[in-house]
Amino acid sequence: MKNILFIKITFSAIFLCIYTNLDAQNSGYLGQRNIVEVNTTITTPVIANLFSLTSSDNFLTEKNVRPLNDQKDRFDFGYGVSYMRILSRKFSAGIYIGADQFSVGSKYIDRYENSEIYYNNFYEYYGELELFDFKTFTIMPKIEYARNSTILPIGFSHQIGFGIKTISLIEKEYKSDLKEYVTDFNGYNEYLQFISPAAKTEFNTNMFDYSDNKFKAKMIMYALNMRTPISDRLLINYGFQYTFNFIKKVETYSSNNVLAEKYWFTKEEMSNLIRSDKQLSFILFNFGLSFSF
């Protein structure tokens, strides 16, 4: 409800600007003050990767014997469409709607165990799990400001946006490389053994509750953008942006609930995974085409 109110207020402000700004005689690209942009976005979560030890080779000592390959989330791609209305020579406002995809490691590694541990009820699995894939949908009103003698939309501009992002886990069969401790028949020695196919299927089935996989984030965006005209109507645009996503941190562990958990990963755990990843991968490059009319 609060989110809807936030968007309503932002939209009202933008349209107020559109209809009240009168210093717009010379603005726009050759007088064209409406801009539709189609963009591709690339995020390189370098910092997230530095901190996300799941993707670090250093601690995967048994790498060669496992079927699951090391995986790093090097690039996250997305796409988006914007509509911008030029309000004056230096200001424009509009809205961005976009989608992208990113991946997050399932859990932090315990350095001393050299493996991940997954708990569920009375089961303990050790090993690795494929990165979780998430898709996002963003709706973000934004304003644009240009300095010097720049006349929007061409040239360098600064953009600030406030938006809402919904994130959902992509439903698929995630590869896993899980083992469990079993005791030999004498009951003296414990050793690790790959879990049975049945247990694996069960793990996948009950990994997460996909029926309730929507996460919401508020975001603030700052972008440095550049547009260069290539025809009387088309411009290429490119630049980078810093995006700060605000996802509430929630308590994931509650001893009272452990027995009641049906799924291996709770929504809270996922939320915190996304939160930590998004806090560390905030730089995004974008390029695309702008059409003016």
3-state secondary structure of 22: coil
Question: At closest approach, how far in Å is the CB of 123 from other proteins?
Answer: 40
Question: At closest approach, how far in Å is the CB of 248 from other proteins?
Answer: 24
- Strands 34-43, 123-129: pairing is unpaired
Binding site for other proteins (CB under 8 A): 25-26, 29-31, 46-47, 89, 148-151, 154-156, 224, 226-232, 240, 242, 282-283
Toward other proteins, which CB reaches closer, 119 or 145? 145
Question: At closest approach, how far in Å is the CB of 242 from other proteins?
Answer: 8
Question: At closest approach, how far in Å is the CB of 90 from other proteins?
Answer: 12
Toward other proteins, which CB reaches closer, 227 or 278? 227
User: Across the strands, what pairs with 151?
Assistant: none
Question: At closest approach, how far in Å is the CB of 234 from other proteins?
Answer: 9
| CB-CB contact of 78 with 44 (8 Å) | no
Cα separations in angstroms, 30 against 33, 157, 251: 8, 18, 55
Question: At closest approach, how far in Å is the CB of 164 from other proteins?
Answer: 24
For 246, phi and psi rounded to 5 degrees? -105, 110
Toward other proteins, which CB reaches closer, 63 or 233? 233
Toward other proteins, which CB reaches closer, 28 or 127? 28
- Alpha-carbon distance of 247 to 32, in angstroms, equals 38
Which string of DSSP letters, residue by residue, matches 217-268?
EEEEEEEEEEEEE-SSSEEEEEEEEEEEEE--------TTTGGG--SSS-HH
| CB-CB contact of 73 with 131 (8 Å) | yes
Question: At closest approach, how far in Å is the CB of 158 from other proteins?
Answer: 10
Residue recorded with tokens 């009387």: 232
Toward other proteins, which CB reaches closer, 58 or 64? 58
Measure the N-to-C terminal CA separation of the chain; round to a whole number of Å: 35
Toward other proteins, which CB reaches closer, 227 or 265? 227
Toward other proteins, which CB reaches closer, 5 or 30? 30
Name, in order, each residue with C-beta under 8 angstroms of 215's C-beta and a sequence gap of 6 or more.
Answer: 166, 167, 168, 247, 267, 270, 271, 274
| CB-CB contact of 118 with 178 (8 Å) | yes
